[in-house]
Structure 1
Amino acid sequence: MGIKTWLMSFSPTTLTSAFSSVTLGTALAWYLNDRFNPIIYVITLAALLLAQAGVNLVHDYYDYLSGVDILYRASGFSHRPHPIIDLKLSPRDVITVGYVFLAIAFMAGVYLFTLVGLPVLILAMAGLIIGVGYSIPPLKFHYRGYGEVLAALAMGPLVTWGSYIVQTGIYANPAPLIVGIPNGLFTLLILIGSGALEIDACRTVGKITLVLLVGIRNTRYVVYTSIALMYLAIVISAILHYLPYISLVSLLLIPRTLRLAGPLLSGDENVVRSRWRELRNLWAGPFSVRLILLIIFIVSMIIARIYPPLSI
């Protein structure tokens, strides 16, 4: 198989989550503490991209073994290429590459630990447990109804916090945890969207996703709450001076976010099925909300540093 096939197997559109959180944590270190080490940024970014790609491969392998992805593909839906079913990679190669990526990412975490200290190693271990335990027995978080929440916590606040720590050596500042909430919650929306499309397959194999746990009718309330908290976190970040007030222009994205999540707000399985191509825009659209948020945050930081009155 060629390099292009393997790159597709990593589910590259989902890797914007790791990129956004690492870059945001690094930008906060520069904006709040005037710290920026480009080498550490590159190491951190590479490690997190490998970690997320590794988790994607391991997750796809175990969903293939459970049969949920085979049933899902048979239903006619497809929100991204599956490395085994669609790209025809061997299951053994997929799980091997997934574990190799996770091992490299963890070793990068150990290296950063030698530079910064124990909290980085603890965060790396927590991320590894969440990533590996997402689909792998006996933990199988994603099969028990709370995997999506743990993934959102890991890929949002924790990655942003860790990326800030390795730049500054400061552990106690809550800024990256709060500023990282929007990316984590957008990740949650994406996972809820894929869970809604896979609902029949998950029922058949006994996989309890968040959508099945709360029910499709109540999923809309989870979505509304997630979107409200996303933008509330931005407002709080501006009030606490973690972000410049001009970053509040990002509130203009609320209608777009609601439109992207539109199929999930119906509370009806048939509507979700009929609008499945529209729902894919949550994670496969040309301009991801989380990337737009990242651009707004960084541009607002640069403007505020150039013209300090705009930082308040």
Structure 2
Amino acid sequence: MHVDGKLRAWLLSFSPVTLTSAFSSVTLGTALAWYDMGRLNAILYLVTLGGLLAAQAGVNLIHDYHDYRTGVDTLYRSSGFSHRLHPILDLGLSPSSVVAAGYALTAAALGAAAYLALVVGIPILVLGAIGLFLGAAYSVPPLKLHYRGLGELVAGLAMGPLVVWGSYAVQVGSLSRLYPLLVGTPNGAFVFLILMGSGALEVEASRAVGKKTVVLLLGARRTKYAALAAVAVMYAALAASALLGYLPLISIASLALLPWTLRLVDPLLSGSEEEVRRRWRELRRLWAGPFSVRLVLLAVLLASMVAARVMGIP
């Protein structure tokens, strides 16, 4: 493989489409600090963003390595489905290099957290270490949370509320304000939906190797209720954040994205494994479309903050 081909393979191995999760949560938390307290330090934002992108890319690689080792990804590929490129099976990277790169990226993320702790305070390092621990526990033995029906929930909490809260705290220098956890809940709910979607596509392979995802634990019929609950939590948190004054009242316009979100999760609402398999390309749009609903949501929230702070619109 030529150098440019190798570089491209590595860049794709990070699952760049999924990295919008880290970007949206860090940016939302930073913007919230500016809206609420008038604090905005671009250097701290870039360090936080770089650390979270490295952490998520590293966790992606470690997860892909362990799913390769258990055989679930090989079985999944043999089924004819593919919701994203696999660094080992599709891009030809060696298993040892993939897991080594994953841990190197998580070490870089811990380094970013250490820098932020020096500038902002030790609690930031503690929060960052907790996040990295949860990221590793997602796939790595002995916890392997994603194999015990807990991975989707833990990832949603970590990549939504905790990242928004931590990014806000980096800017204001304190973890004492808790309301960013509520503002970050929609991002977490969307991560949960994405992971349920990929779990629904992998259900046969997961069943074969004993990987207990939320979809397998609930079954296809009850999965639709979990998906509806996640959508309800997502938009209830948005409405509550606006009505309680944590976001500008104008941000209530984000509720207009509800029909789009329901269309994206519609295959999960069928209550049928066969229907999900038939509509796998449609379900894949949850995370692999030309642009993500969470990026549009972020744009709406950012625009509402600017309108409220600069133009005085409530």
SS at match of 2:92: coil
Matched letter for residue 183 of structure 1: N
Deviation per residue, 1:130-174 (Å, 9 max, x gap): 111110000100000011100000000000000000100121212
Which of the residues 186, 193, 196 maps onto 2:197?
A: 193
Deviation per residue, 1:42-73 (Å, 9 max, x gap): 00000000000000000000000000000000
User: Partner of 1:13 in structure 2?
Assistant: 17
Matched letter for residue 270 of structure 1: E
Distance 2:65 2:216 in 1: 22
Matched letter for residue 206 of structure 1: G
Counterpart check, 1:262 vs 2:269? no
- Structure 1 stretch 117-126 or stretch 257-266: which is displaced more? 117-126
Shift of 1:207: 0.4
User: Partner of 1:168 in structure 2?
Assistant: 172
User: Partner of 2:115 in structure 1?
Assistant: 111
User: Partner of 1:153 in structure 2?
Assistant: 157
SS at match of 1:145: coil
Distance 2:175 2:69 in 1: 40
Distance 2:78 2:159 in 1: 30
User: Partner of 1:124 in structure 2?
Assistant: 128
Matched letter for residue 198 of structure 2: S
Distance 1:307 1:106 in 2: 39
Deviation per residue, 1:269-294 (Å, 9 max, x gap): 00000000000000001121110010
Matched letter for residue 11 of structure 2: L
User: Partner of 1:237 in structure 2?
Assistant: 241
Matched letter for residue 107 of structure 1: G
Counterpart check, 1:91 vs 2:89? no
Shift of 1:123: 0.9
Counterpart check, 1:31 vs 2:35? yes
User: Partner of 2:72 in structure 1?
Assistant: 68
Distance 1:17 1:298 in 2: 16
Counterpart check, 1:204 vs 2:211? no
Shift of 1:90: 0.4
Which of the residues 269, 275, 281 maps onto 1:271?
A: 275
Shift of 1:114: 1.3
Distance 2:162 2:109 in 1: 15
User: Partner of 1:297 in structure 2?
Assistant: 301
Distance 1:287 1:85 in 2: 26
Distance 2:31 2:311 in 1: 17
SS at match of 2:141: coil
What is the total number of aligned residue pairs between the two structures?
310
Distance 1:86 1:171 in 2: 42
SS at match of 2:10: helix
Matched letter for residue 239 of structure 1: L
Which of the residues 226, 245, 257 maps onto 2:230?
A: 226
Matched letter for residue 8 of structure 1: L
Matched letter for residue 269 of structure 1: E
- TM-score where L is the length of structure 1: 0.98
Gaps of at least 5 residues in structure 2 are none
Distance 2:192 2:256 in 1: 20
Distance 2:310 2:109 in 1: 36
SS at match of 1:261: helix
Counterpart check, 1:182 vs 2:186? yes
Identity of aligned residues (%): 61
Distance 1:145 1:256 in 2: 27
Gaps of at least 5 residues in structure 1 are none
- TM-score where L is the length of structure 2: 0.98
Runs of 4+ deviating beyond 2 Å: none
Distance 1:217 1:126 in 2: 34
Shift of 1:215: 1.2
Matched letter for residue 298 of structure 1: L
